[in-house]
Structure formats: C-alpha cells, structure tokens
Chains A and B, each alone.
Chain A
Amino acid sequence: MIAAEVPTARRRRSFVTRGVGGFIVRRLLLGLLTLFLVSLVVFAATQALPGDPARAILGRGATPESLTALREQLNLNRSIPYQYTDWLGGLLVGDAGTSLAATRPVTELLGDRLLNSAFLVLCAALVSIPISIAIGAYAALRRDGAFDVSSSLITLVLAALPEFVVGVALIVLLATTVSNLLPAVSSIPPGTAPWADLEGLVLPTLTLVLAVTPYVVRIMRASMIEVLESEYVEMARLKGLPERRVIWRHALPNALGPTFQVIALNLAYLAGGVIIVEFVFNFPGIGGALRDAVSTRDLPVVQAIAMVIAAVYVLTNLAADIATILVTPRLRTRLR
C-alpha cells in the first residue's frame, strides 16, 4: 500500500535536456534569444529616424559631401537586412563600428570606460547586497519594532528619490556647501585603473548603493516575513529548536530565493543608474559616454552601449536563476 503512493514530484520531463546543467543551457539559449531580439530593437531604433538619417544627424547645415560620407559610413545606401547583418556580425567579432563624433573605433573609445563602469557597479553591488539582505532580514525579525518602522520609512523615501537628486544632495552635504570631506568629481585619467583613486569613487558608489538598497531591503523583508509566518517555521519552533537554528537553517535559506531575482533586476538597474551617476560625478564610464553620444547623436556608440547593458541584464538574470535553483531543492527536482 505504501508502494502505491507515488511521489508528487517528477512528473514532467523536458525533451531538450535534463538536470541543472541542461537548465543552464536552456536559460543561456533563452538569454541569447533575448539579446537577438534586443539587437533588433536597437537596430530598428536607428531606422526610426524620420526622413534622411544622415541629414537628421548632421543637421540642416551639412554639406552634400559630408552627407555622402556619412551615408557611406553608416551603410545607409545598402539594404536594411545588409545593414543589420553587417552591424551584428561586427558586434560578434568585437567590431562595433566607428564613432561618428570621435572618428575612432567604438571599442577603442569604450574599452577603458567599460572597465571603469564595471568596477563602479561591482563596488556598489558588493556594498549594497550584503547590507540590504542584513537590514531586510533584521527588520523582518523585529517586525513592527523601532528598527523596522524607521528602516521601512527610510527605504520608502530613498526608493522614491531620483538618483541625481541623491547625488546632488550628497555633493551638497559632503563635497561642497555643508562639509568638504570628499571630492565632488571623480576623474580617472585615461590609462589609469579605476581603483587608483578610491576617494573619488566613494560618492558615486554611495549614490548607487542608496538607489538600489531600498528595493532589496524591501523584498528581503517581505520574503523573510512570509517565511517566518510559514507553517514549517512554526513547526521548527514547536519541535523545540533553538531560535538561532530556526532563523539560520529554516528561515533565511528559504527567504533568499525570491530575493536573488530582485537583486538581479537591480544589478541591471545599476547599469542604468550609472548613466545618471556618472554624469553627476563626471565619472569616465560608459554611462557618461552614452549621455554624450545621445546629445551628439553618435549612433554607433549608442547602439554599442545599449547592447552591453542588455547583455549585463541577461547575464545577471541567468546568475539569479541559477542561484535560486541552488537554494530551492524543489526546483532542482523538477528539472530532473
């Protein structure tokens, strides 16, 4: 009779592959599909230019010679599918075209800046993720206590503020009018590693941390509260486990799963936030480059940066999916 009971799990089987490895491969393919669609959107955006793109870029005063040269450079006299495949093919081999404004290869222009931005985002992530998980978990444990009430109010306000307001406020408070503790701009001379001037990194990092932390804190708190009210945590207490073990072994691992997803979303969001933050602090990264490229309508640069940021999004989501799978045995089994 016991043998007749069929375990509830393992019903469905995927026809592609099985196991965690197969899952990762599938997600990777899905990510590549997303990137492909993204490239279509980015490319289509350049086609959205009304009328003659070359004239739209160069303005009314452009000479016929410069217009012809630009058309040549942008492949505008070729068919649209040719333009797309040429551009995408170039991207795949590391050739993102030539910047219109700087007349240099885009990759050369962005190389150092990409490293700088990556370092900035990494700093912000390394600071904000552990802090926000800790704050969220603690607020949930002391639910409705003074810490919870004040942290939820602060995160609420911080989440509502645009990054540039936070950045400007930090400059007012820490770098100019009120006190003068830190530099208001962080300039990294070309050829220098971003970690050479750590002092200049403090304010941009802090701004990003303040922009991202609230979201992670709130999801961590919510998911921790849900877990703490679950029947298995109640059961763990009712079988007399020490509170320490209830929290560290029974509550936290289950609360982290949904949090990883939000962390991933926010890392991608960090990539967007750098655009503002780098502009506020004159930080030489791809965000600042994007802003400049948009104002000079330097389309190859805009396209390249858009693809980079989309790739970051796809990768972080993939990482979050894997992390969630690793902390959720139920999902692991479903993959078998």
Chain B
Amino acid sequence: MTDVGHDRPGPVAGRGGVKEAAAAITVEDLRVELRRTGHDIVADIGFRIGPGEVLGLVGESGSGKTTAGLALLGHTRRGVRIASGSVRIGDTDVLRLPPAALRRLRGGLISYVPQDPSASLNPAVRIGTQLLETLEAHGFGSGSDERRARVTELMAEVALPTEARYLRRYPHELSGGQQQRVGLAMAFANRPRLIVLDEPTTGLDVSTQAHVLTTVRDLAATHGTAALYVTHDLAVVAAIADRLAVMYAGRIVEEGGTTAIFDQPAHPYTRRLIAAIPHLGGRRELQGIPGRAPSPGSRPPGCFFAPRCSMHVPACDDGQPALREVVPDRRARCIRAEEVLTLPPPTAGRSTTADEPSTADAVLRLRSVCCAYGPVQVLHDIDLDLAPGECLALVGESGSGKTTLARSIAGLHKDRTGEILFDGHPLEGPARARAQDDRRRVQYIFQSPYSSLNPRRTVGQAVSRPLEIFGTARGREAEQKATAMLDLVSLGKNYLDRYPDELSGGERQRVAIARALVCEPAVLICDEVTSALDVSVQAAIVDLLARLQRDLGLSMLFVTHNLPLVRSIAGRVAVMSLGRIVELGTVDRVLRDPRDAYTQRLLADTPSLETASA
C-alpha cells in the first residue's frame, strides 16, 4: 500500500534476536530516577540492537521512552540522574566514561536526532556551520576541505541541495521537513554506530514523514548503523522498525519482531494499544484503554498495568512480573502472556455502519466560501453540505485550510466571503455578530484541551457558563444540568470542583465536549480533537463522540489530519488540499478507490498497521 513498508533492506543481524557479540549496542538493567525523590522514571531496561537494525521503542506519554533514549547517550534532563545499568558499545560502557570521553562519544559513536528540529537547530548559526562544527568537534578527516566534502556528501544523502548558498541559510529559512533532514545529516555525519531518533517525524506532514522514514531506514541499512527509533506512533513504527520494544510506566513490557508483535501480542497492554489504533483497511470501532498510566512514585506494588487490565487476576498484584521469554524471540512482562498469545487477533473490533446521507435538507450549506489571512487567500470557493445527523470528516494536511474552514463556520475567523447557511439563513462572519441562538446551536471543540479550558475555572464553572450566557439555566439548575452532561461524557459529579490542571488530557477533552453539548447544539464541529492525545485516549474520545453523535442525532464536522481515524467515525469524507476540496464521497469509496491524485498520494504516504502485516 505504501512505499514505506516495501522492500525493507534486511538488517545485518537478521530478524531474530541479536547475539551479544554481534550487537552494535547492548543495554542492561538501566535505571533512571528523579534526583529529589529517588523514584524511578524508567528501570530494568535492557535490549540489544544489531548493526543496520532499527529497534522501535514505543510508548505513550509518560512511559519514559525519551528518558530511556537519552540515557543511551549518558544524558539526562535537569533533576534526573542515571542510577545504574550499562550501555555497551563494543568494549566501551557509555555510562562509566569520564566527561571528556563521553563528549567525544556523543555525536561520534552515538548520535541523536531530536523531536523538534525547529527548536534544536541553533537559530543564530548557519546550517552549514552547524554541520561542519559537528565534524570538527570529532576531528573528522584530515582537514577542512575533506570536512566540506563530507558536508556536501551528507546533504546529498538526505536529499537536500548541496550548493554553498543553501548551506549559508539559517534554520528558520528551511521548512520543517528540511530542518529534520539537516538533523539527520548531522546525526550521520561522523558515521556513528548507533543513532537515537526521538520522535523525529512528530509535527511533519505524512508525505514529509514518509520521506524522513525512508531516509532513516536507507541510511541505517547502507552504513550498518544501529538505530533506536523512539515514538508513540505504532503505525510509524510498523513502517520502519525491524524489532519492537513496548514501554509502559517506565518498563519494557514486551519485546520482539515487529510483524510478530502486531500479529500476535503477548502483553495485554500491547494488545489494547493495537486495538486502539484506527485502520485504513477495515471499518471498525476503536477501543480505548480506561484509566491512566501511573506516574513515578505512585505506581502499584504489583504489575503496573494491572489496575487497567481486563485480564487482571489476584496474582497480578503479587509483585512485579519479570520480562521473560514467552516463545522464542519474544519477551513479555506478564504472568498470563501465554494466554494472551492465544487470544484472537486484536484487530477484530465491532464494525460501525454508515449510510450515504441525503443532503437535500442540509442543516449547514457552504456556498463559495473564501477566507484569507491578510493578503494570503487560504480558502478558495468552498461548497459543502452537512446533512442532519451525519458525520462528515474534513481531512487534509497542515496548511490545507481545514481548520480555517472549521473556524469560519464557528465564527472564529472574520475574514470570510461567500455564504454559510445554517437552517436556511446566512450566518454572520464573527460569532459576536450572530444571533444568540445561532451561537448556541453551532458548537466548536478545539484541538488542544490544554488550551481550550481556562486553568482558573473549575470544570463546573466551565460547563455551566454557556447555560448562563444563553439564559438556559442558572445557579443550582445550571449545576444540575452540568452534572448531567458530565455523566454523559463519563465524568462524574466529583469532577465539578476540579480544575483543568488536575485532569488528564482525555478528561479535559471530555470536559470540552460537555461544554459544547450542554448548549444542545444542532451542529458540532470537532477540530483535530484527538491530535493532542495518546492513541489509547484518542480511541476512547472517538468512541464517545461517535456514540453521542448517534444518540443525540448531531450533525458533526470532524476535522482531522489522520486518515485512518476517519474510518472509525465518519460516513462521508471531504479531502482538502491547498484551500480547496479535492475529493468528496463516502469514506468507503474514497479510501478504497481514491480518484483525485492528491488523495491517492496522501493514502500512499500514510503509514498504517497494514504495512507491517503486509
């Protein structure tokens, strides 16, 4: 399906577990803890990576994956220290090196590719200089001519222009994808034995991501470099990693070959995680994982996953299970791993149904809508109908104009021409100019629940405030309505007096949903509402939204960049590119048989689990 998954050059060490002698790097018993309290962030971390092999280190937020990745370079963030363990490359134990030797090792034998290239390239230093200094610091070559030649070679390897003028650019003069390629070039500069990549494609568009992934895999294979690919994205890992280590609450809970794990996970957490991922291929309902991962210092005495595990038995609480070999080349940290292995594949979820809606009596009609930011026009002649009770997905990459479109419907973007008809009458540009009832009946949920809730307002205040504004209810009555609404989004009455800071991301997004629904809207606009959340939480939120949309008969516009996610919620999908709708149709049809060239490319570049199993 995608060019990412095919023709993977086999690693030197092959698909099986890596023998110690052959390993490029061997990590044993690594423990990193908080300086102040001594609580571990990660512990009991051990794995090997062979030359040319890519190990995917997968985990959700707070799993400690970044901490573990940085520890391989002997580095920790402020307030954290490496307490014990060893990281061996050949005969060298990274964690026993004196500072000067460690400095020589970093960027030499082991290099690092950070998450956000725009923040990790120095804004005041030209990219050519930043590449050159990496070579100079490690005494690469015999002179500056040789180093300059190496810079040119590196730029070519990562498919960037090699001319001197380009090298004289500053980081901000490059796009995000180009910046990340500079980061890759820097990492490969001194021909390292190991390269640690920390979510290097987060924030990049799928097409750019596909290119970065291909570059990483090719470079690792060509130069025999071992790679640790740290990510939260199972679909990405499926596309790039030979082997997988899944982390939960600071521990590796499962390790093995990528395909094998996706086909048949041995740990209940891995199983649930895979079930939470939307698929491009088959329509199905997503299943979230209830609860939240325990943070350092508040972890249970037994198995850390036990409180959230559907296969929990009393024995699970008797101390922490060891990471043990369940079948050859598969280790799992679960006392019931053998049973988990025999369960039917996790991909078989309940399937959802959707009919082709009739747009004859559309609740929302967009006619020739154009939007601009200052002199730049970002939306061109958008025509779109939203049928009553349907969920229409609006899909596009960043810069496609999908969020601008959603915001202009909600009255949050003023610079708009064309008509937006709601229930047959036109809506004014800014929300303030609209009739109160129109404001109430078109509700908008924002991308980030960390930003959309006022940290100084309790959940109760946030949810009941719309009732006061619209004069629906006040005082006790408003509180009762708010409580009822919180129940509806699976948050109880005891959330009323809590502040957003006390809630997890998923809980916050539920509050934001409750705040929108308490207005009893006819149209609900969801703008990337899950993109700030972990996959297990995303699944739960999408599940909730799908249920509410059905039960309350809402018309929903679901804006997302995540193509597979569309399957799990929407009936129709509109694909946007460069401010225009390039394709519109039922989800089944568009995903199976894309007609527009852009949609075809988008589908091809989207990594998904199917690529791993293919």
Contacts and interface: CB of A to CB of B under 8 A. Distances in A.
Direct A/B contact, Cβ within 8 angstroms: yes
Interface of A: 1-2, 5-12, 229-243, 245, 249-250, 253-254, 327-330, 333
Contacts, number: 105
Q: How large is the interface on B (under 10, 10 to 19, 20 to 34, 35 or more residues)?
A: 35 or more
Nearest to B99: A243
A10 B376 CA distance: 13
Given A240-B108, A242-B103, A7 B174 contact: yes
Which 7 A-B residue pairs are closest in the complex by CB-CB distance?
A: A240-B107, A239-B107, A5-B175, A240-B106, A235-B120, A231-B119, A231-B120
A55 to B, nearest CB: 54
B121 interface: yes
B107 A5 contact: no
Given A235-B112, A239-B106, A333 B75 contact: no
A241 B172 contact: no
Contacts of B548: none
Given A234-B120, A245-B133, A2 B125 contact: no
A188 to B, nearest CB: 44
Interface string B30-46: 00000000000000000
Contacts of A237: 75, 103, 106
A333 B170 contact: yes
Contacts of B86: none
B105 A240 contact: yes
Interface string B363-403: 00000000000101000000000000000000000000000
A1 B120 contact: no
Interface in B97-124: 103-108, 111-112, 114, 116, 119-124
Among A8, A237, A253, A254, the most chain B Cβ lie within 10 Å of the Cβ of A8
A1 B123 contact: no
A10 B159 CA distance: 23
Contacts of A231: 114, 116, 119-120
A250 B175 contact: no
Contact of A232 (B75, B119, B173, B178): B119
A238 B124 contact: no
B114 A235 contact: yes
B149 to A, nearest CB: 19
16 contacts: A8-B176, A10-B173, A232-B119, A232-B123, A234-B120, A235-B122, A237-B75, A238-B73, A238-B112, A239-B134, A240-B108, A241-B107, A241-B137, A242-B103, A330-B170, A333-B172
A249 B125 contact: yes
B461 interface: no
A234 to B, nearest CB: 7
Nearest to A241: B137
Contacts of B111: 238-239
Residue among A231, A235, A327 with the most chain B CB within 10 A? A235
A231 B75 CA distance: 13
Contacts of A240: 103-108, 134, 137-138
B207 interface: yes
Contact of B175 (A7, A11, A243): A7
A250 B137 contact: no
Contacts of B173: 7, 9-10, 333
Contacts of B187: 239
Q: Report which residue of B106, B124, B134, B172 has the largest number of chain A beta carbons within 10 angstroms of its beta carbon.
A: B124
Contacts of B557: none
Give the residue among B120, B121, B159, B176 with the most A Cβ atoms within 10 A: B120
Given A232-B120, A239-B107, A240-B105, A2 B178 contact: yes
B75 A238 contact: yes
A233 B130 CA distance: 12
A9 B137 contact: no
B186 A327 contact: no
B376 A250 contact: no
B211 interface: yes
Given A235-B120, A239-B134, A240-B108, A250 B125 contact: yes
B177 A5 contact: yes
Contacts of A8: 172, 174-176
A232 B175 contact: no
A310 B397 CA distance: 51
Contacts of B562: none
Best-surrounded residue of B75, B116, B122 (most CB of chain A within 10 A): B122
Given A8-B175, A238-B73, A243-B103, 6 more contacts: A5-B176, A229-B78, A234-B114, A236-B122, A238-B111, A241-B133
A11 B138 contact: no
A231 to B, nearest CB: 4
Contacts of A245: 133, 137
Contacts of A230: 119
Nearest to A254: B124
A233 B172 CA distance: 16
A327 B178 CA distance: 23
A330 B114 contact: no
Contacts of A328: 123-124
Interface string B450-494: 000000000000000000000000000000000000000000000
A1 to B, nearest CB: 6
- Give the one of A231, A237, A245, A327 with max B CB within 10 A: A231
B244 to A, nearest CB: 25
Contacts of B417: none
A316 to B, nearest CB: 23
Interface in B141-156: none
A238 B116 contact: no
- A9, A233, A245, A329: most-surrounded residue (chain B CB, <10 A): A329
B448 interface: no
B36 to A, nearest CB: 13
B231 to A, nearest CB: 18
B121 A232 contact: yes
Contacts of A239: 106-107, 111-112, 134, 137, 186-187
Nearest to A242: B137
A258 B111 CA distance: 32
Contacts of B104: 240
A253 B129 CA distance: 15
B213 to A, nearest CB: 13
Given A239-B112, A239-B186, A253 B175 contact: no
A2 B204 CA distance: 13
Contact of B123 (A5, A11, A12, A330): A330
Contacts of A330: 123, 170, 172
Contacts of A12: 374
A249 B176 CA distance: 23
A9 B178 CA distance: 13
Interface string B431-461: 0000000000000000000000000000000
B208 interface: yes
Q: Which of A233, A234, A328 has the most CB of B within 10 A?
A: A234
A240 B134 CA distance: 7
Contacts of A229: 78
Contacts of A236: 122
A2 B172 contact: no
Contacts of B107: 238-241
A232 B106 contact: no
Contact of B178 (A5, A250, A333): A5
Contacts of B78: 229
A231 B198 CA distance: 13
Nearest to A249: B125
A229 B120 CA distance: 11
Nearest to B174: A7
Interface string B573-614: 000000000000000000000000000000000000000000
A250 B123 CA distance: 9
Nearest to B373: A11
B159 A2 contact: yes
Contacts of B211: 1-2
Contacts of A250: 122, 125
